[in-house]
């Protein structure tokens, strides 16, 4: 599919467990298209984190194909997988993982500088992202000086600073109160819709899940519509 940012085809993931084998994913399939937000709502222990790790090229499946931005990552060497992950995938977690010694702006600039962008361009893009997410006035503040919602918006800005085609979010509002969670979700939703970014969002928040384009779950190792 030409506009698919992520395709998981027949993904199996097995782990050794004592003398036996634990079958976590049993042929899971999922497509997330550009400009689409897909909620992944599943109980703990069903393979949700494993699916995200595989989609993010952080873990190799036992079998199956992982296609990111039209690139089949299944047979890539580690260096090529790392490059594809760096250039096409952004990650947001429940806890922001911002670097405490750097300002909000610097946290957003860092991944761009690592990717080789000139400092002035990284600065300008960081300013644009902060302004877009309505925290431009907090650019000079370090994470400890920011509220939980502000920290998470900086984390979102950092995740999309290098213009990935796919965003993977693992409980991005799970550590926030309902009102702040709603505001952070609105910022994320606006980014997805206006940039054409594709997003796969794991969440336990059913209200937020209902606001996304689709909602899927994991059942007996397979991805099914919820």
The CATH code belonging to domain 4-225 is 3.40.50.300
Average pLDDT, the chain: 88
pLDDT value at residue 195: 82
Q: What is the pLDDT of residues 70-90, one digit of tens each?
A: 889 887 888 888 888 888 898
Least confident range from 96-110, 112-126, 181-195: namely: 181-195
pLDDT value at residue 1: 46
Q: Does residue 63 register a pLDDT over 90?
A: yes
pTM of structure: 0.86
Q: Does residue 154 register a pLDDT over 80?
A: yes
Q: What is the pLDDT of residues 13-55, one digit of tens each?
A: 998 877 788 888 999 999 999 989 999 998 888 888 899 999 9
The CB-based long-range contact list for 221-224 (8 Å cut-off, 24+ gap) reads 221/12, 221/23, 221/24, 221/25, 221/26, 221/27, 221/28, 221/47, 222/25, 222/26, 222/27, 222/28, 222/29, 223/8, 223/28, 223/29, 223/30, 223/51
Q: What is the pLDDT of residues 158-206, one digit of tens each?
A: 888 888 899 998 888 877 788 888 888 888 888 888 888 899 999 888 8
């Amino acid at each position: 599919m030409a506009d698919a940012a992520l395709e998981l085809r027949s993904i199996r993931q097995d782990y050794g467990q004592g003398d036996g084998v634990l079958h976590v994913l049993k042929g899971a399939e999922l497509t997330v298209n550009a400009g689409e937000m897909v909620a992944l709502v599943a109980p703990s222990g069903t393979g949700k984190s494993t699916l995200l790790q595989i989609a993010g090229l952080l873990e190799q499946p036992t079998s199956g194909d992982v296609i990111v931005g039209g690139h089949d990552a299944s047979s890539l060497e580690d260096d090529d997988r790392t490059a594809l992950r760096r250039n096409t995938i952004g990650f947001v977690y429940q806890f922001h993982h911002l670097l405490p010694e750097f300002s909000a702006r610097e946290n957003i600039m860092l991944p761009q500088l690592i990717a080789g962008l000139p400092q002035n361009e990284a600065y300008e893009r960081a300013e644009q992202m902060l302004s877009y997410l309505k925290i431009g006035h907090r650019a000079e503040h370090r994470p400890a000086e920011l509220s939980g919602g502000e920290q998470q918006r900086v984390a979102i800005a950092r995740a999309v600073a290098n213009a990935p085609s796919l965003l993977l979010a693992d409980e991005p509002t799970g550590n926030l109160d309902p009102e702040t969670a709603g505001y952070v979700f609105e910022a994320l939703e606006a980014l997805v819709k206006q940039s054409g970014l594709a997003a796969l969002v794991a969440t336990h928040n059913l209200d937020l899940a209902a606001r996304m384009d689709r909602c899927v779950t994991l059942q007996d190792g397979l991805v099914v519509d919820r």
